[in-house]
Amino acid sequence: MANDDRVKLACRGVWKVFGRGAEEYMANDPTPTPDGLRAAGLMAGVRDVSLDIGEGEIFIVMGLSGSGKSTLLRCLSRLIEPTAGQVFLDGIDLLRAGEADLIEIRRHKMGMVFQHFALLPHLSVLDNVAFPLTIQGVPRPEREARAREVIELVGLGGRETAFPNQLSGGQQQRVGIARSLAVKPELWFLDEPFSALDPLIRGEMQAELLRLQSVLKKTMIFVTHDFDEAIRLADRIAIMKDGEVIQLGTPEQLVLEPADDYVAAFTRNVQRAKVVTARSVMGPIRNTSVHQIVRASDKIADIAPAVIEAGSPVPVIDEHEMVIGSLAPQVVIDTLIGKDARA
């Protein structure tokens, strides 16, 4: 995990099987094969998924259409009921929570943002953002104060009285984000929230999400089919195929060590320098330039100009400011041109 101090959300052996008699079938055969399910007229949307998601982590779930990524998100949030398995939030099994308890958890601990903005057209920005608090029965002065706070946070200050049809697509999605944040959720589910936006606005919204995360430190489960989006945002990525998690790792791990051809296909066109860190390609500690220092977690693409300009190896430091290696300009150049600097 990116943050291994505490597991915020976890699941164990989660299945979602669609079709009549799915629960009874799974009770008799807890690890069915695809052929067995097919013969029974059933289909597995999620197959035996187990995950640990750290507090404050941006956890990306990605895959092609039909891979099960959105179904998994809905199982984790219990918007749909898993057929088998366990889902834990702060160690509490959500699948054992009663309806009233689950409503309270959703209202106070979960925020959700979807591809379609689902704004209420007859309500202003302020009232749309305050709507979850209205449902909670929060008094008007308090809910409007909170709504104004998050509206300002997402960069829409001054648009409180506007209606959805007066906003651009990016602005409407900002309203959706603000509305999901109004309840101060601990867990934030985002299901392809930017896929309906044009590329320029999509890039702006990705940057906005990272800015918000730097302030709020939310635990996010973010679904996308876009690997460029995933590597920009993720602490870790789970790649799904046919309902299964094929590989789980950091963007760097997936690019450098794809588990199979399916994962390799996602990473084939990625510029390695955007995901490879100094730690992965650094050499041993040696006499280095004192004029430049890079961090082990820095991406090569971000530090390349400074390292190349230094003209000699520069020290690499860890999170404790200790020198742990050195990075040579030639290694940076090799990474930039796509040559495996570890060879």
Residue 129 CA to residue 154 CA, distance in Å, equals: 11
Q: Based on the structure, what is the number of domains in the chain?
A: 2
State whether 171 and 229 are in the same domain: yes
The dihedral formed by the CA atoms of 225, 226, 232 and 237, expressed in degrees to the nearest 10: 30
State whether 248 and 170 are in the same domain: yes
CA 92 from chain center: how many Å?
Answer: 22
What pLDDT, on the 0 to 100 scale, is given for residue 285? Answer: 87
State whether 155 and 244 are in the same domain: yes
What pLDDT, on the 0 to 100 scale, is given for residue 117? Answer: 73
In the chain, the percentage of residues whose pLDDT exceeds 90 is: 64
pLDDT band at 259 (very low <50, low <70, confident <90, very high): very high
**Residue-wise burial string across 263-280, b where 16 or more C-beta atoms lie within 10 A, e elsewhere:** beebbeebebbbbbbbbb
What pLDDT, on the 0 to 100 scale, is given for residue 1? Answer: 59
State whether 169 and 286 are in the same domain: no
pLDDT tens-digit series, residues 125-140: 999 999 999 988 899 9
pLDDT band at 194 (very low <50, low <70, confident <90, very high): confident
Q: pTM here?
A: 0.86
pLDDT tens-digit series, residues 264-301: 988 888 888 989 999 999 999 887 666 789 999 999 99
What pLDDT, on the 0 to 100 scale, is given for residue 98? Answer: 86
pLDDT tens-digit series, residues 156-192: 999 999 999 999 888 998 999 999 999 889 999 999 9
pLDDT tens-digit series, residues 77-110: 999 999 999 999 999 899 888 888 888 888 889 9
Residue 330 CA to residue 193 CA, distance in Å, equals: 40
State whether 238 and 194 are in the same domain: yes
What is the overall mean pLDDT for the chain?
90
pLDDT tens-digit series, residues 35-80: 999 999 999 999 999 999 999 999 999 999 899 999 999 999 999 9
Is 47 part of any domain?
no
State whether 224 and 311 are in the same domain: no
What pLDDT, on the 0 to 100 scale, is given for residue 9? Answer: 96
Is 8 part of any domain?
no
What pLDDT, on the 0 to 100 scale, is given for residue 342? Answer: 52
Is 203 part of any domain?
yes
Q: In what order do the strands lie in the sheet containing 92-93?
A: 43-54, 7-18, 84-89, 92-93
What pLDDT, on the 0 to 100 scale, is given for residue 339? Answer: 73
What pLDDT, on the 0 to 100 scale, is given for residue 340? Answer: 65
Domain of residue 177, residue span = 53-84+95-272
Take residue 196 and report the two structure tokens written for it.
Answer: 């309906």
